[in-house]
Amino acid sequence: MLDESVLKQHGQEHFLEYTKVMSQSEKEQLESDINRLELDEVNRLYEDVYVNRKEIEIADDIKQVQFDIKDQFSEEQLKSYRSLGIKAIKDGKFAVLLMAGGQGTRLGHQGPKGTFSFNDKSLFERQAEQLRHLVNEIGTPIHWYIMTSDVNHKDTLAFFIENNYFEYDEQYIHFFKQDHIVSLTTDGRLILDVNKRIMQTPNGNGGVFKSLEKTKLLAEMKEHGVSFLFLNNIDNALVKVLDPEFVGYTIEQNSDVTTKSIQAFEDEKVGRLVSVDGKKRVLEYSELSADDVNKFENANIGIHVFKVDFLIESASKALPYHLAIKNLKQLDEDFSVVEKESLKFELFYFDIFQYANSFATLQVNRAKEFSPLKNKEGKDSIETAQKDLEINQLL
């Protein structure tokens, strides 16, 4: 039975009204959902991230990160990096992590974003094909870790099975789900979703490291002899998965984190790589004013390599939650489905950069390596991605 005093103490007494018209099984499920929560932590999250949120201030001690420019390397140097990279991959030192927890809703596509196709070739297949060709070249299997979420896990697995894992050896594909966190109303109340459960949404891509730790996949990588983990997102149509030249650069730098970046356009809505008191981080465009966003031109594109030892050491360290205000479908007091402005809390994977003792950045040519697929039309859309694929002759 719900504890009325505890609910009132934490500002969640609205659930007492819901239970008056719930069946016994629905009441028991609600009680179970609430009992699994730390309501003090929920209140603290609301106060820290929403009520007392602060604007980012650009101080004098924030600087742009140092970076190398790939287009300035000689052909001989690139060949050397590729040779070094191929050897490291062949020796089993690298695994790949794909973050694919999202849906294709903004593309007008039903299902996981990775199932979206250009010319009957899905985003999943495009990345699997790159890895398959690399495996065929070096003769060594590559472990491929794929992060899904509750909303797309079953559909993602079914898609891989239906497509025979895109001819990639299934024993080297490892699926795992990211964690979830509660969403709240703007006055700090827990929300009842359309299934009469406490609403929880994916906790952001920054939850990837704790999920890897919790599922013991980091330890598994270590046991496999993997020293580096290549990470990328599903929605970059031009991503070069485990690019041997970048791998070779990574080996030479031997940093906790090695990242690809691009030259940002003016006012471009991408995060900027910066250094604060010597610690690296990404300032998201949404966290910067219109004047500040153009002070930093080195843009994050979500392609990184992490030392596995660094992740094992840092996965359990605290990362800050960021706020997203979204219209979410939920039940009102009359059990009608409504869409209301609500609070989502997200971890960003790049906040782990602050714990890195060494950091290297390689700026690459966006026309060859970056075409984000975010929208159905307009900027960063299906049309722009298709054009970029055609220019690079990947269709």
Q: Taking the complete model, does pTM exceed 0.85, yes or no?
A: yes
Percent of all residues in the chain with a pLDDT value above 70, rounded to a whole number? 98
Mean pLDDT, range 331-359, rounded to an integer: 94
Answer whether residue 47 is part of any domain.
Answer: no
Q: For residue 4, tell me if it sits in a domain.
A: no
Confidence of residue 21 (pLDDT cuts 50, 70, 90): confident
SS3 278: coil
Instruction: Kindly state the tokens that stand for 218.
Output: 């980091």
Concatenate the DSSP letters of all residues of 161-173 into one string: HHTGGGGS-GGGE
**DSSP letter, residue 344:** E
Give the C-alpha separation, 280 to 274, whole Å.
Answer: 6
Helix ranges, the chain (H) = 4-9, 14-19, 24-35, 39-45, 75-90, 123-138, 153-162, 208-214, 217-223, 244-253, 308-314, 366-369, 382-391
Of residues 300, 224, 316, the one with CA closest to residue 262: 300
Q: Is the model's pLDDT at 284 over the cut of 90?
A: no
Residue 42: inside a domain:
no
How would residue 125 be classed by pLDDT, with cut points 50, 70 and 90? very high
Is 59's pLDDT higher than 70? no
Could you report the per-residue pLDDT of 320-336, keeping only the tens digit for each?
999 999 999 999 888 89
Q: What's the distance, CA 157 to chain centroid?
A: 19
Residue 355 in any domain: the answer is yes
pLDDT at res. 60 = 63
Answer whether residue 349 is part of any domain.
yes
Q: Give the percent of the chain with pLDDT over 90.
A: 84
Q: Cα(244)–Cα(20) distance, rounded to whole angstroms?
A: 61
Asked whether the predicted pLDDT for residue 158 surpasses 90, the reply is: yes
pLDDT digits (tens, 9 = 90+) for 176-198: 999 999 999 999 999 999 999 99
Strands 279-283 and 257-263 turn out to be unpaired
Structural domain contains residue 101: yes
Region 75-90 average pLDDT: 98
CATH number at residue 254: 3.90.550.10
With a cut of 80, say whether residue 92 has pLDDT above it: yes
The residue segments making up the domain with residue 86 are: 63-391
